[in-house]
Amino acid sequence: MKLAEVEEHMKKAVEATQRSFNTIRTGRANVSLLDRVMVEYYGTQTPLKALASISTPDATTITIQPFDRKTLSLIEKAISQSDLGLVPNNDGSVIRLNIPPLTTERRKEFVKLAHKYAEEGKVSIRNIRRDAVDFVRKQEKAGEIPEDEARNLQEKIQKLTDKYIANLEKLLAEKEKDITTV
């Protein structure tokens, strides 16, 4: 396992956490809120963005323009059943989602959710570190690399871990600021 591979895995863990952060409402309309919405389309779970054009005409509204009008009711049903807590308004050709302002209590829930996502990202990064360090130790035991090189690699892996956990902390602070800003 090369250091570049370890870093690539850690980058992917941070990116996955960033995508999770994007699904948390901040009080402003954002098309990424709908990234996890799946629509039952001809017996298959299909991502909403594959069935419709999604836009934000203003800070409090998301509009969904289906490519096929027949999917309007399916999209409306999927949004209603999602955990977004948004009520779709169907006018026969477009679905509008009004993003209500967040209450203080709801903001606190979203901050907790962001912390949960960040912790999951950190655990993922630590697991990557553990696997990489185990690999280095196995190589050292097998006599493939000398002890001092193994120690050096472990230090580099720890530095990468610290760097990417710091990145996650920064992303979390930004997201927390977005959520708590009225």
The tens digit of pLDDT for each residue in 115-173 reads: 999 999 999 999 999 999 999 999 999 999 999 999 999 999 999 999 999 999 999 99
Between CA 61 and CA 47 the distance in angstroms is 20
How do the domains of the chain map onto residue ranges?
Answer: 3-22+103-180, 31-98
pLDDT value at residue 182: 66
**Mean per-residue pLDDT over the chain, rounded:** 89
- Considering only CA atoms, which of 5, 26, 2 is closest in space to residue 175? 26
Of 130, 151, 129, the closest CA to residue 140 belongs to: 151
Share of the chain above pLDDT 70, in %: 99
- Residue 112's pLDDT is 92
CATH placement of domain 3-22+103-180: 1.10.132.20
Q: Do domains 3-22+103-180 and 31-98 have the same CATH topology?
A: no
Q: Kindly state the helix (H) or strand (E) to which residue 181 belongs, with its residue range.
A: none
Q: What mean pLDDT do residues 49-55 have?
A: 90
Q: What pLDDT shows up at residue 121?
A: 95
**What CATH number labels 31-98?**
3.30.1360.40
Residue 64, Cβ neighbours under 10 Å: how many? 25
Residue 164 pLDDT: 96
Report angle CA 80, 83, 86 to the nearest 5 degrees: 50
Cα 128 from Cα 54, distance rounded (Å): 36
Between 163 and 48, name the one with better pLDDT.
163
Q: Residue 29: is its pLDDT beyond 80?
A: no
